[in-house]
Amino acid sequence: MSILINGIGVSSGIAIGEAYVYSREQKEISKYKVPAAQHKKEIRRFKKALSNASEQLHEIKNKIAADTPADILAFIDTHLLMLEDPTFDEGTVSNIKALSCNAEWALNLQSKRLVKVFDEMDDPYLRTRKDDVLHVVRRIQNCLTDTPDHIPDARQLKGRIIIADDLTPADTLMLQHQKIAGFVTEFGGPLSHTAILSKNIGIPAIVGAHQARQLIKTGETLIIDGRQGMLINSPDKRSLKHYRALRKEEIARKALLHELKNVPAVTRDGKAITLYGNINRPEDIRALRKFDETGVGLYRTEMLFIEKNGWPDEETQFKTYKRALFRLKDKPLTIRTIDLGADKEIQDTIDQGPMAHNPAMGLRAIRRCMKEPELFIPQLRAILRVAALGPVRMMIPMLTNVEELQQVLNLIEKTKQQLRAQKIRFDENLQVGAMIEVPAAALSADAFAKQLDFLSIGTNDLIQYTLALDRIDDEVNYLYNPLNPAVLKLIQMTIDAGKHAHIPVSLCGEMASNTQYTRLLLGMGLEYFSVQANTLLEVKHIINHSKLSRLRPQIKKILDHHSTIEIEAKLNRLNQHESDKTAN
């Protein structure tokens, strides 16, 4: 009998193949006493497990290195770095000493502590980093308990769909090396490194398919639909035929979109649109360049700070930004200054005491930087210096008023003077822009525009602050809608302010990556989009099939409505009509 199971599709594509249920042994961790005289020996045992775990990862890296790009291998490096991180090492060692307990138990306690830190982060991406902690801990525990952790060999796996409880990025890379057709895991979320990796390497994948290992047996025929997050086991002939046809269509569609790589984004009536990508680290540029050799409209620098778990020094930042710039090969790089606080935290502030009651409204982003300029200046210096090497722009997040903007501009000027006095090379004419992501900034966009080189609309926050809802609170999720007329008015005001001042206005929030809104934004006059790499070609496809002279009056009419539901209905109709026309 065929069964349909739902999970979360994290890497689109359809795979059809035989299932391989991969269950690994995992020993239960129990606590036992280790007398003080044995502490040293127990610590040695733990350190040995750390070095074995590291050896295992190096071995995997070596095995797959020949045909795997360096940026993909970097997913393994994240775990190698974690193994070297003192938080694991020192925390576990002090647990062994303080509790006189075995290394497994001590590590478990430490991992719970770390998971809690990540769990309390508001940012969904950072929250998911707890998966990495758990993956690394499992590897160390397996080393401590002598539990083998190996993937079956290639002959068993080629062309198969793997069903597992959870996969680490290293497992995923090994499996891809063994040419699997796709994978399904019972646990893990869409933002886990395993999910991101599967998208990067293009294997159809589903996570969060609970009980999949109980419902599916090795050898059964499986279909997985990575876009819908759906798997069907033992499909009937009709389903098989249907999905084979879909797979064919999908391959054709991908090829069609791929033809748009490096083709300029230009509307049918000749308006050139700039389409950049968003990145979190220099390594993300590889994925971006797979779709287009374009620039970066938003480089979120938080990851560097979070990975260092503190404020990295000027040199570390300079080298990291330079790496990003060189990877872009002369395409523009927009570096956003650090947006710490609220959903993106580092240990130093966690250690400083109780969190603000309302962190999203608290000392976040530029507010935090201006409170501690001595911590911020190294970033300003690093950006100013790297800008001397290529087309770099600096973008300030979460500004709310012109006085604050003036203070930031003064600090940039002071930093320039410092560099000048030290005879250190930097870009005297570095372009500075602001994220418009709070309503106050959008309402003052004309004043901002007069003093800046560009603006970029951050709809993720603009929606949250305009509609007074926490962007990660599921309870109020239903209100989170970019089509709320108040949000649209603020976006329109910002676009208009930029045009008035003759400076570019881009949109780098998630709204830019959602093709449902591409025509709306074009019709509102947006000319610069910064999007997620994997949606870039789809957005370009719509741009290149749109005619502004036809869109503008239709969008204007839609914007006259006062209700989100009406706007949504009208926009859906317009989208449907336009895409039908494109298809015919």
Give the active site residues: 193, 508
Query: What region, left, alpha or beta, does residue 3 occupy, with left being phi > 0 and alpha being psi -120 to 50 degrees?
Result: beta
Q: Which is nearer to ligand PEP, 96 or 508 (CB)?
A: 508
C-alpha span between 149 and 460 (Å, rounded): 40
460 binds ligand PEP (CB under 6 A): yes
Query: Residue 30 CB, nearest distance to ligand PEP (Å)?
Result: 42
Three-class secondary structure of residue 72 per DSSP: helix
Residue type, 364: R
Q: Which stretch binds Mg ion (CB under 5 A): 207-215, 218-226, 366-374, 435-443?
A: 435-443
Residue type, 478: Y
459 binds ligand PEP (CB under 6 A): yes
Q: Are 90 and 183 in contact (CB under 8 A)?
A: no
Binding pattern to ligand PEP, positions 476-515, x when CB under 6 A?
--------------------------------xx------
Query: Residue 407 CB, nearest distance to ligand PEP (Å)?
Result: 21
Query: Residue 469 CB, nearest distance to ligand PEP (Å)?
Result: 14
Q: Which is nearer to ligand PEP, 312 or 458 (CB)?
A: 458
508 binds, among ligand PEP, Mg ion, none (CB under 5 to 8 A by kind): ligand PEP
Using alpha carbons only, what angle is made at residue 187 by residues 86 and 345, rounded to the nearest 5 degrees?
Answer: 40
110 binds ligand PEP (CB under 6 A): no
Cβ-closest position to Mg ion? 461
Query: Residue 298 CB, nearest distance to ligand PEP (Å)?
Result: 6
Q: Which stretch binds ligand PEP (CB under 6 A): 209-217, 238-246, 369-377, 459-467?
A: 459-467
Q: Which is nearer to ligand PEP, 134 or 399 (CB)?
A: 399
Q: Which is nearer to Mg ion, 295 or 458 (CB)?
A: 458
C-alpha span between 250 and 451 (Å, rounded): 47
Q: Which is nearer to Mg ion, 133 or 398 (CB)?
A: 398
220 binds ligand PEP (CB under 6 A): no
Joined tokens for residue 384: 């100013």
Residue with tokens 């710490």: 340
Three-class secondary structure of residue 106 per DSSP: helix
Q: Which is nearer to ligand PEP, 213 or 364 (CB)?
A: 364
Q: Are 505 and 495 in contact (CB under 8 A)?
A: yes
Short-list 533, 456, 101, 531, CA closest to 283: 533
> Could you say which residues in the range 296-325 bind ligand PEP, by CB under 6 A?
298, 300
> Could you say which residues in the range 410-449 bind ligand PEP, by CB under 6 A?
437
> Could you say which residues in the range 436-495 bind Mg ion, by CB under 5 A?
437, 458, 461
Beta-strand pair 230-233/3-6: antiparallel
Three-class secondary structure of residue 392 per DSSP: strand
Query: Residue 526 CB, nearest distance to ligand PEP (Å)?
Result: 14
> Could you say which residues in the range 358-387 bind Mg ion, by CB under 5 A?
none
Q: Which is nearer to ligand PEP, 10 or 298 (CB)?
A: 298
342: β partners: none
Q: Which of 132, 225, 292, 461 touches ligand PEP (CB under 6 A)?
A: 461
C-alpha span between 172 and 135 (Å, rounded): 12
220 binds, among Mg ion, ligand PEP, none (CB under 5 to 8 A by kind): none
Q: Are 414 and 394 in contact (CB under 8 A)?
A: no
**Residue count at the site for ligand PEP (CB under 6 A)?**
10
C-alpha span between 472 and 122 (Å, rounded): 7
Residue with tokens 């500075």: 432
Short-list 464, 456, 458, 506, CA closest to 481: 464
Burial class (CB in 10 A: 0-12, 13-18, 19+), 511: buried
The H-assigned helical ranges of 516-563 are 518-523, 536-544, 548-559
378 binds, among ligand PEP, Mg ion, none (CB under 5 to 8 A by kind): none
Q: Are 494 and 436 in contact (CB under 8 A)?
A: yes
Q: Which is nearer to ligand PEP, 282 or 509 (CB)?
A: 509
Q: Which stretch binds ligand PEP (CB under 6 A): 177-185, 241-249, 258-266, 455-463?
A: 455-463
Q: Which is nearer to Mg ion, 437 or 527 (CB)?
A: 437
Residues 6+ apart with CB under 8 A from 162: 20, 22, 175, 180, 182, 183, 184
Cα separations in angstroms, 406 against 304, 314, 392 = 27, 23, 21
Query: Residue 471 CB, nearest distance to ligand PEP (Å)?
Result: 8
C-alpha span between 13 and 228 (Å, rounded): 9
Q: Which of 339, 345, 427, 527 touches ligand PEP (CB under 6 A)?
A: 339
Q: Which stretch binds ligand PEP (CB under 6 A): 33-41, 225-233, 240-248, 453-461?
A: 453-461
Q: Are 310 and 348 in contact (CB under 8 A)?
A: yes
Q: Which stretch binds ligand PEP (CB under 6 A): 193-201, 345-353, 457-465, 513-521?
A: 457-465
459 binds, among Mg ion, ligand PEP, none (CB under 5 to 8 A by kind): ligand PEP
Query: Residue 114 CB, nearest distance to ligand PEP (Å)?
Result: 23
328 binds, among ligand PEP, Mg ion, none (CB under 5 to 8 A by kind): none
Query: Residue 508 CB, nearest distance to ligand PEP (Å)?
Result: 5
Q: Which stretch binds ligand PEP (CB under 6 A): 175-183, 188-196, 372-380, 456-464?
A: 456-464
Name the maximum alpha-carbon separation found in the chain: 82
Instruction: Report DSSP state, residue 389.
Output: G
131 binds, among Mg ion, ligand PEP, none (CB under 5 to 8 A by kind): none
Packing angle of the helix pair 70-84, 129-144 (nearest 10 deg): 70
Q: Are 415 and 379 in contact (CB under 8 A)?
A: no
Q: Which of 7, 13, 208, 458 touches ligand PEP (CB under 6 A)?
A: 458
Packing angle of the helix pair 284-291, 314-328 (nearest 10 deg): 20
Q: Which is nearer to ligand PEP, 316 or 460 (CB)?
A: 460
Binding site residues, ligand PEP, CB under 6 A:
298, 300, 339, 437, 458-461, 508-509
Enumerate binding residues for Mg ion (CB under 5 A): 437, 458, 461
